Structure 1
């Protein structure tokens, strides 16, 4: 069995500002039929989030420590429903995960681990596969733009551009519907916008397409693939990126 690894970014949304704080990184590695999990805090971000009420997770209190486990950390595993419940079985069936080696990880990745009782979610990073950047994520700000994008469909082309007139966020990256008079669909969510903002400033043309549309609120998911030079991405943003190869 070859070694492989994945990671999820642990995001906590501040109840006052609604800002997403990427408080930590959860990763999983498979090697020689063994699975190991790792978690560590993004200490600088945690200190900011604590001003809005964030507190370190139960069993993972030390901000300076890297935690390792052969099982998914209990504080995260408790977010998942019992595997015998209908909702769990439905996800496994719908995404054809019956033969997966780690259905709990896949469930966490697909559902983002969200619950109705807190502001925590687990988000996939930006991937780099050799020189290809790959990103799949929800489009932020949809609630403000959906009335202007009622005919948005899966596979519709989308274009990214810096929103230079945004006084609230100097690194904001707009998602534009090129089939609808360049209407704004929303934004690349923070802090992923930092990666794309950097590339746009280096004169990359970035585009994508609607990968899926949520059946509940119609929120679209964008997929972006682009060949880029790794050196063109600020090293300070490495925590947002996972090298696939």
Structure 2
């Protein structure tokens, strides 16, 4: 079986509107790192981000260029915890990473987040044949019912989704609801919601459950949801790039 590249999406957040956009893709394959901007997506990608005020990263000014390196690009490597830290092994343990982790593993686990800028890395939507899977942290957690029922949320519990086409900020918004009493926990992040909106609308098969609960984390990292599913027979995936990252948002 052909080995697929390891891919992460680069996300940028407008600090005023709090909206997030999928602006680039970082690949690692056969010892090479490549970075390119996301030019072909349907929504919440580079050009929409630029309309919202985004300017290309100073180290990657040419939006049409594919950048290649034998090492993880310096601007991204600096986002990783320093191996010389005395608590570095504890950091690996906290993120559930083995001692033989890769830099891409660590970048995915930490998101490469810094307090000084609006970037983060997230895992792509993975599509193989008629199956798909991805995971996400609930967006908008601080504004809804999550904090009041946090102690009731259990890893492995199912969650439900509700479409919200009347949402003025995102006409493909998808609400995340607790399985038990239907409490509103927040939303699927917009760079994933277009894909899930269509999955739900087309009555495809999927299961969504709570993967992690982090009571001491920042609101945007409180609860992680995993989704596994498959497209119903006859559903066309020709519009989806079956090379990770899958771009359908």
Q: Mark yes or no: TM-score above 0.5.
A: yes
Assess, with a 3 A threshold, how the Cα gap between structure 1 residues 171 and 239 changes in structure 2: closer, same or farther: farther
Task: Quote the offset at 1:221 in angstroms.
Answer: 0.6
Change in Cα spacing, 1:200 to 1:168, as seen in structure 2 (3 Å) is same
The answer for the alignment partner of 1:170 in structure 2 is 171
Distance 1:234 1:91, change over 3 A: farther
What RMSD, in angstroms, separates the aligned Cα atoms of the two structures? 2.7
Higher relative contact order (CA 8 A, sep 6+): 2
Unaligned runs of at least 5 residues, structure 2: none
| 2: CA distance, partners of 1:87 / 1:118 | 24
Matched-pair contact (CA < 8 Å) for 2:6–2:104 = no
Q: When the two structures are superposed, what TM-score results if normalisation uses the length of structure 1?
A: 0.85
**In structure 2, do the counterparts of structure 1 residues 224 and 46 end up closer, same or farther at CA, with 3 Å as the change threshold?**
closer
1:238 deviates by 6.7
Contact 2:8 2:245 in 1 (8 A): no
Any idea what the Cα deviations from partners look like across 1:135-161, whole Å, max 9, x if unmatched?
A: 111011211222443311211111223
Residue in structure 1 matched with residue 231 of structure 2 by the alignment: 228
Contact (CA 8 Å) 1:6, 1:242: kept in 2 or not? no
- Describe the SS at the equivalent of 2:198: helix
The 5-angstrom pairing of residues 1-245 of structure 1 reads 3-30=3-30, 35-43=31-39, 45-94=45-94, 95-100=96-101, 102=102, 104-145=103-144, 146-150=146-150, 151-179=152-180, 181-217=181-217, 219-228=222-231, 231-233=235-237, 235=239, 241-242=245-246
Q: How many residues align?
A: 236
Instruction: State how far apart, in whole Å, the 2-side matches of 1:47 and 1:134 are.
Output: 26
Q: Does the C-alpha gap of structure 1 residues 166 and 207 become closer, same or farther in structure 2, counting only changes over 3 Å?
A: farther
CA distance, structure 1, for counterparts of residue 178 and residue 227 of structure 2:
14
Shift of 1:182: 1.7
Aligned 8 A contact 1:40 1:63 in 2: yes
User: Shift in Å at residue 92 of structure 1?
Assistant: 2.3
The Cα of 1:192 is off from its aligned counterpart by: 0.3
**Any stretches of 5+ residues in structure 1 without a counterpart?**
none
Go from structure 1 to structure 2 and tell me whether the alpha carbon gap of 1:176 and 1:130 turns closer, same or farther (over 3 Å shift). Answer: same
